[in-house]
Amino acid sequence: MNRHRRVVVTGLGAVTPLATGVGRSWERLVKGESGVGPITRFDATGFKTRIAAEVKDFTPEDFMEKKRARRTDPFIHYALAATVMAMEDSGLQVNEHNSDRVGIIYGTCIGGMTTYEKNLAAFLEGGADRISPFFITGFIPNMALAEIAIAYGIQGPAQCVITACATGANAIGDAYRHIQYGKADVMIAGGSEAYILPVGVAGLSRMGALSSRNDEPTKACRPFDKDRDGFVLGEGAGTLILEDLEHALKRGAPIYGEVLGYATNVDGFHITEADTTNQARCVSLALADAGLEPEQVDYVNAHGTSTPSNDISETGALKIVFGDHARKLAISSNKSMIGHLLAGAGTVEAIFTLLSIRDSIVPPTVNLDNPDPQCDLDYVPNVARAMNVNVAVSESFGFGGSNATVVLGKYQG
């Protein structure tokens, strides 16, 4: 591995349940505001869960031509919008001279299920001739990546990541490796999801994964709280521009922070239940990759789903990795305010982690009113905390036991 190539983040873009755009999303997150509310995407009457963290006030035509918006799925809309914002933020120009040195790793858990549901209903009602010619290209998972590549003329390394809730973190980590290995100078990394649909909500609810605190939507997601009853389904996308440090400095790019380490593994244990030991091993491997001791970490952006088992498992993993230092860490869960963005979670949460480093402030875990005795670390309850953050860990753990950890740090010139 060409370890002398340092990798920095030079652009950020996001579409979240709090806002379209990184700045406003971050502002609201730090204030502890929630993006959760009653479902408006469909009539959820009769559903056990009738709440979600929906993207609001979003117009795809603000980021792409109307024709492209009409033939693509919302998960592609969010991905393109987040990438347009990240590219503008970075100031990166792709042209014939560098297009093969710019790559993309973009992921999704589900793909274009809005398109799939719509076309399946049309097929069942009217037969094969009712299927849209854009049906297949609207829902297959790699089409967000493809549309981004087409929009910018990108011709470098590319892959679509699908590792459940670890997808976004894996996208960042794999992009980081491509630059380290010298296969690219710039990588676009992201994850996008648009799964607030009847079948999605019903399926996750039947698994027992979703909160049914329908009468108090903004209080429904309560990571590490004794009264938690499941996660809140969210939607949106996050995109980061990763860049070789020398390349970034040469073009005078803004630098939000540095990617210091990455690791991924799988539990080999259960389709939904987490394995504490392997979660801990993933974090330890990422710190070793970064060449850091656990005591050097200031903040952990937790996976923090608000499910009964995950929060206990994650707490146990942090104790294994950090030992006595675990009680000195600031730990918080963004999902308490934005819900679980599935593939978008790892990238959006990494964006917020970088902003914690930049702004020296850690967003809170809201709704932590009655801490679970088995979750007894410092989760920054309810109010943001001003503190210096030099090194932070962003954790993502997915169904099937997919684990991913990204270590981020303050850029030290």
Q: What is the pLDDT of residues 323-354, one digit of tens each?
A: 999 999 999 999 999 999 999 999 999 999 99
Instruction: Write out pLDDT tens, residues 57-100.
Output: 999 999 999 999 999 999 999 999 999 999 999 999 999 999 99
Over range 363-383, report the average pLDDT.
98
Q: Does 1.10.540.10 match the CATH number of domain 8-401?
A: no
Active site residues: 165, 303, 340
Instruction: Tell me what pLDDT residue 272 has.
Output: 64
Q: Is the pLDDT of residue 175 over 80?
A: yes
Instruction: Tell me what pLDDT residue 401 has.
Output: 86
Q: Which two tokens stand for residue 149?
A: 């590549």
| Residue among 352, 29, 22 nearest 221 (CA) | 29
In the structure, what pLDDT confidence band is assigned to residue 4 with cuts at 50, 70 and 90?
confident
Instruction: Tell me what pLDDT residue 1 has.
Output: 44
Q: Is the pLDDT of residue 269 over 80?
A: no
Instruction: Tell me what pLDDT residue 212 has.
Output: 97
Instruction: Write out pLDDT tens, residues 201-238.
Output: 999 999 999 999 999 999 999 999 999 999 999 999 99
Instruction: Tell me what pLDDT residue 15 has.
Output: 98
In the structure, what pLDDT confidence band is assigned to residue 399 with cuts at 50, 70 and 90?
confident
Distance of CA 39 to the CA centre of its chain: 21
Instruction: Tell me what pLDDT residue 268 has.
Output: 78
Q: Three-state SS string across 298-347, please?
A: CEEECCCCCCHHHHHHHHHHHHHHHHHHHHHCEEECCHHHHCECCHHHHH
Over range 286-297, report the average pLDDT.
98
| Residue among 41, 44, 185, 205 nearest 114 (CA) | 41
Q: Is the pLDDT of residue 386 over 50?
A: yes
Q: Three-state SS string across 7-45, please?
A: EEEEEEEEECCCCECHHHHHHHHHCCCCCCEECCCCCCC
What average pLDDT does the structure give for the chain? 96
Q: What is the number of residues in the chain? A: 413
Instruction: Tell me what pLDDT residue 304 has.
Output: 97
Instruction: Write out pLDDT tens, residues 113-122.
Output: 999 999 999 9
Instruction: Tell me what pLDDT residue 3 has.
Output: 58
Instruction: Write out pLDDT tens, residues 95-153.
Output: 999 999 999 999 999 999 999 999 999 999 999 999 999 999 999 999 999 999 999 99
Over range 312-321, report the average pLDDT.
97
| Residue among 330, 324, 305 nearest 392 (CA) | 330
Angle among Cα 56, 58, 63 to the nearest 5 degrees reads 160
The DSSP-derived string for 226-275 is: TT---B-BB-EEEEEEEEEHHHHHHTT----EEEEEEEEEE--S-SSS--
DSSP type of residue 63:
T
Over range 369-398, report the average pLDDT.
97
Dihedral of the CA atoms 11, 15, 21, 27 (nearest 10)? -110
Instruction: Tell me what pLDDT residue 27 has.
Output: 98
Q: Identify the helix (H) or strand (E) that includes residue 124.
A: helix 113-126
Residues of the chain with pLDDT > 70, as a percent, come to 99
Dihedral of the CA atoms 124, 126, 128, 131 (nearest 10)? -90
